[in-house]
Amino acid sequence: MEYPTLITASSVAFDPLGVRINPEQTAIHECGHQFFYGMLASNEFEEPWLDEGFTSWFTYKVMERSYHSLLGGRRFQVGTNFLEWGDYWTLPSADPLTRFGFRTLDHLSYDSTAYAKPTLVLDQLEAMLGRPVMEQVMRAYAQEMAFHHPTRNDFRRIAERESGRDLSPFWRDFVEGTEVLDYAIRGAKSRDITEGGWLFSDKAPVFAAPQPAAPGRVGSITLERRGGIRAPITLWVRLENREEQRLVWDGQDRWITYEFDSPVVAAVLDPDGNYPMLKDRLHASYTPMPVRRGFHYWAQMVWGAVAGWMLGCGIG
Ligand SMILES: [Zn+2]
């Protein structure tokens, strides 16, 4: 819990997995409040994301720098914003960030809009502006607004001034909006180009056996926009003829199909990680190669289960 110049955090008696929530994450989080609720003193009831959200974003940054993960051993890691990610996607669209804290749908939605979504939204802003500019924005916001009770409009004004960017679309989609950023690769197809078949003219139809024709086998890939946020998104593809292409889809329609002179053998949506808020990374990549489930696959599955069980018992 946070009080001016005093923080409290609990610990746990039995923690075999070493989850870094208590006291590590809590202590860092409550320290963060000294700045956002203490020094900047934004309105934590009417705009809780400026206090809890900013604090959560910095908590995740500090945790990442100090511990690298929330939970993890040599074999797997759980990211330091894992809980925020889970909370946001449990209830992403009930309330915008601009909702008064005491007017959210319920407590779950308060958690999502005050803590979880702003953590991801500030990450999204950092991905847009770049880390040096984001640091400049945060520094200017803290220095200028200390003891001035800033509102979200102060943050926007300072962010736009420091970055030289118009943040209107970002503000509309992520701060005032409740839609989600959800794109996926729907599927890819390939087919043979042939010449021949039935030829119709004013005489009797003639049949010629179909023959392969240039360019031979062609491919296509279909993307879909499953969420309400329309933002341009990059697609990287590698074709069977070893050619690579990068395309940008404006995302205005619900779907688009791109045709290529050769079948698609690999594709990645948002290959540069411009959208930390993209919902579904699992369907943001594609390969037609079958999953190989040979000896190594099953050996790893069995060993993973044993190692997980040992870790769960505190002996991993
Ligand atoms: Zn807090």
2-175 has CATH 1.10.390.10 classification: yes
> Which of the four pLDDT bands, split at 50, 70 and 90, describes residue 291?
low
Kindly report the average pLDDT of the chain as a whole number: 92
The residues placing their C-beta within 5 Å of ligand 1, an ion, are 52
Distance CA 49, CA 36 (A): 10
Task: Please give the distance, rounded to the nearest whole angstrom, from the Cα atom of residue 226 to the centre of ligand 1.
Answer: 33
pLDDT at 290: 66
The answer to whether the peptide bond before residue 276 is cis (omega within 30 degrees of 0) is: no
Task: Please give the distance, rounded to the nearest whole angstrom, from the Cα atom of residue 99 to the centre of ligand 1.
Answer: 17
Distance CA 135, CA 122 (A): 11
Task: Please give the distance, rounded to the nearest whole angstrom, from the Cα atom of residue 173 to the centre of ligand 1.
Answer: 25
Task: Please give the distance, rounded to the nearest whole angstrom, from the Cα atom of residue 30 to the centre of ligand 1.
Answer: 6
Phi and psi dihedrals of 195, rounded to 5? -120, 145
| pTM for the model | 0.85
CB 9 within 8 A of CB 27: yes
Distance CA 52, CA 101 (A): 11
The answer to whether the peptide bond before residue 118 is cis (omega within 30 degrees of 0) is: no
Write out the E strands in 200-274: 206-225, 233-239, 244-249, 255-260, 264-269
Task: Please give the distance, rounded to the nearest whole angstrom, from the Cα atom of residue 198 to the centre of ligand 1.
Answer: 73
Q: Which residue has the higher pLDDT, 221 or 297?
A: 221
Distance CA 249, CA 251 (A): 5
Distance CA 183, CA 61 (A): 26
Task: Please give the distance, rounded to the nearest whole angstrom, from the Cα atom of residue 52 to the centre of ligand 1.
Answer: 5
Task: Please give the distance, rounded to the nearest whole angstrom, from the Cα atom of residue 2 to the centre of ligand 1.
Answer: 7
Distance CA 257, CA 222 (A): 4
Write out the E strands in 75-160: 77-78
Least confidently predicted of 47-51, 202-206, 262-266? 202-206
Q: What is the mean pLDDT of residues 131-148?
A: 97
Give which of 240, 231, 233 is closest to 271, Cα–Cα: 233
Secondary structure class of 108 (helix, strand, coil): helix
Q: What is the mean pLDDT of residues 290-299?
A: 78
pLDDT at 315: 72
Task: Please give the distance, rounded to the nearest whole angstrom, from the Cα atom of residue 187 to the centre of ligand 1.
Answer: 42
Task: Please give the distance, rounded to the nearest whole angstrom, from the Cα atom of residue 48 to the centre of ligand 1.
Answer: 9
CB 94 within 8 A of CB 105: yes
Least confidently predicted of 53-57, 64-68, 107-111, 229-233? 64-68
Least confidently predicted of 36-40, 74-78, 103-107, 215-219? 74-78
